[in-house]
Chains A and B, each alone.
Chain A
Amino acid sequence: MSAASLRTRPCHVACVMDGNGRWAQRRSLPRTSGHRAAETTVIDVIEAARTAGVKWLSLYAFSTENWQRPTTEVDFLMHLVRRVVRKHAPLLHARGIRCRFLGVTDPRIPAALARDFADLTTLTDANRGMTLTVAFDHGGRQDIVEAARSLIRSGVPADAVDERHFASHLPFPDTPDVDLVIRTSGEQRISNFMLWQVAYAEWMFPPVLWPDFRAPHFLECLRTYQQRDRRFGGVPPHVNGDPRP
């Protein structure tokens, strides 16, 4: 990727789905109803991304830190996710979307849910329309630690390790770097999300809460992205006061 990617459509878009709780609070509803309302947004965004030609979409559904939430909320989320996965599995498959789940290592995840994740992965494994990665029980640092472990186990000499080599030990090494991260609800944090892959990502923080986020918001983000000037840390065309050797 270089200047050629300027003003092109992002290849890999990631969404940090933030604001479900606040959405519910503003309506004096229990937090859980915010999560329930998020389902519509998820499906809407998947559909918008697919039609806009985004090849990779990642959704941050549940972080390793989310286990600290109240047990009832966690239980509700597990149940909801299972229902959503089962409800939309045939549709996702019919749309040619390849689904996979990043994380999902904690034994607290109900076996039935893990089974459904595995089944959806198997079912859609051969699809090539768009790859939807759902980060569930995901932690960016954890992934890097795992990659380091795998690297050490493979017995490579320290000098032989470069970025490319390291990345090949991350989960789903075929995933390209994230081009654009959308974090809804105006919060401006990374929250341990796909740390390695977001290194050069553009970030956008639309103030709208995730349950209110819809396809037009998503397309607006894509448009803004295409107007941005991505430099990947290279030398920009005009830099003031840059010391020359």
Chain B
Amino acid sequence: MTDPTTAGPESLFGPDSQFHRFFDDPRWALAMVRATVLEAAHPQIGAALIDSSTFVTHPWRRLRNTLVSLQRMFGADEATRQREAARLNRLHARLSGTDEQDRPYDAMDPQVRAWVVATLFESSVTMCRLSGQPLDRATMERLYAEFRAFLAAMGDRAGHLPPTLPEFWSYYDRMVAEELEGTEALRIILYRLFDHLPAPPLLGGLPTVWAAGRALAGPAIGTITVASLPEPFRRRAGLPEIPGAQTLMHSAYLAAGLARFLPDGWLRTDQLAGLLTLSPDSDDPRLATITALRARMKRAGALVRLVAPFPVQRSPEGAGGEPRRSAEEFFSEVLDQTGDGYLSWPDLAGMARELCTRLDLDEPAETRLYTAFADWWRELQTALDTDGDGRVSKDEYAVAVPSLAGPALIRVAEVLFDATDADGDQSIDAGEYRALFRTGFHRTVAGAEGRYSRSAFVQDFLAFMAGRRYSTAYDPLLTGA
């Protein structure tokens, strides 16, 4: 019916696409988790995730970036799509290496990228099947065509995804039966991410409420996801069969499916994600409307703690707003973006990636920023890696910390200033500031009368990075979950 090689891409994307009907569907959250697990089970993707991804420590940031990216790719505007595809290609081109068994991985490998798209498509189909509303053949064909066009828009030959649906299913079954493995990334997602999922920035002040909810929801999401995976893969990867898991999984999909009866506009995935990743310090107007709710939740949290017989003892964080953190805290909260306990290039690349995404940088600004971070990494490595294992441990950092505002770090500050200063007038105005920090000047820049000078910017950046000062601007940017 719909052949993606003949149909123009315009007809496959945009607000009328099948993809957009799914995008705001609450079942899609479950489907996305499932797709991510299937992606992580691919040995190459699993290795890339383990090495470079910041999703364990910053899952909410990652979620928001993914949703924004998907929206751009499936949006109506062709120019936006091409720009986003180019950006994704640059991002993926920076992700390559070898896994623990010295097998190479490369995020640009067309096979790998085809598998990512395949999991998204298959999980969307499965989500409908599992919630008792299977797609009819025409809709399924249309959806498949859209996802093939998505892959094609990335510049890969569409040939890596089979041209017809029947061929796709045999491709998919073969992948599940032969290629997928019980990778470490898969286990981390299933058993670590959900049990330790950090609170989204918006709920950051309510650790008790969050922990209580997560203790129930975390294992449930893991169980639901496992139960929804293809049976042959579950068997091969040695994933547990839990009694009742299938029923729980079906109920979850059914219940999420019922939400489609809610009035239009009640569930907007992108808005929800945007809201959750909003920093409580932000001056976003939406924040005012939820401040009341937040205050009530805070009180609930306080009451829970007060009546709990053995209260959760949080570390005496900052001891009443101490403006500077210890080297160990700074290492874990800011530098170690991948959360593996070591500082290495992927950590700094993760920072560079987040900054590029925030600022929506094009070439050559993006490469300049990455290069500045790479130079900083070499500077850190030379100064700190005393045992020569190619990475910096927390102890190595803590010992050497006073000597840390080297020329490469100052260069990072300057390059970041240039990238933020989009109009190149040597000062950052409110709009440019908002692009980077998602908040206006008001409290964060002392005495800035509508502009933020290069020297003040560099000074604040260094105070955060080398002086380890808390910052209402940089903390949400680099430490927010």
Binding site for B on A (CB under 8 A): 85-86, 89-90, 93, 107, 111-112, 114-116, 118-120, 122-123, 125-126
Contact = CB atoms under 8 A, between A and B. Distances in A.
Contacts of B301: 119, 122
B468 interface: no
B305 A115 contact: yes
B319 A119 contact: no
A115 B312 CA distance: 11
Contact of A126 (B295, B305, B319, B320): B295
Interface string B40-75: 000000000000000000000000000000000000
B319 A123 contact: no
The majority secondary structure among interface residues of chain A is helix
B303 A111 contact: no
The majority secondary structure among interface residues of chain B is helix
Contacts of A119: 301-303, 305-306
14 contacts: A85-B306, A86-B307, A89-B307, A90-B306, A90-B307, A93-B303, A114-B320, A116-B311, A120-B302, A120-B306, A122-B298, A122-B299, A122-B301, A126-B295
Contact of A111 (B302, B305, B316): B316
B313 interface: yes
Contact of A122 (B302, B311, B316): B302
B319 A107 contact: yes
A127 to B, nearest CB: 10
B313 A123 contact: no
Nearest to B316: A111
A115, A120, A126 interface centre (most CB from chain B within 10 Å) = A115
B404 to A, nearest CB: 28
B307 A123 contact: no
A195 to B, nearest CB: 24
A111 B303 CA distance: 17
A112 B311 contact: yes
Instruction: Give 7 closest A-B pairs by Cβ, nearest first.
Output: A119-B302, A123-B302, A122-B302, A89-B306, A111-B316, A123-B299, A119-B305
A119 B308 CA distance: 12
Contacts of A123: 299, 302-303, 306
Contacts of B316: 111
A172 to B, nearest CB: 17
Given A86-B306, A89-B306, A107-B319, A115 B299 contact: no
B303 A90 contact: yes
A116 B299 contact: no
Nearest to A93: B303
Contacts of A86: 306-307
Given A119-B302, A123-B306, 20 more contacts: A85-B306, A86-B306, A89-B303, A90-B306, A107-B319, A111-B313, A111-B316, A112-B311, A112-B313, A114-B320, A116-B305, A116-B311, A119-B305, A119-B306, A120-B306, A122-B299, A123-B303, A125-B299, A126-B295, A126-B299
A112 B299 CA distance: 17
A116 B308 CA distance: 11
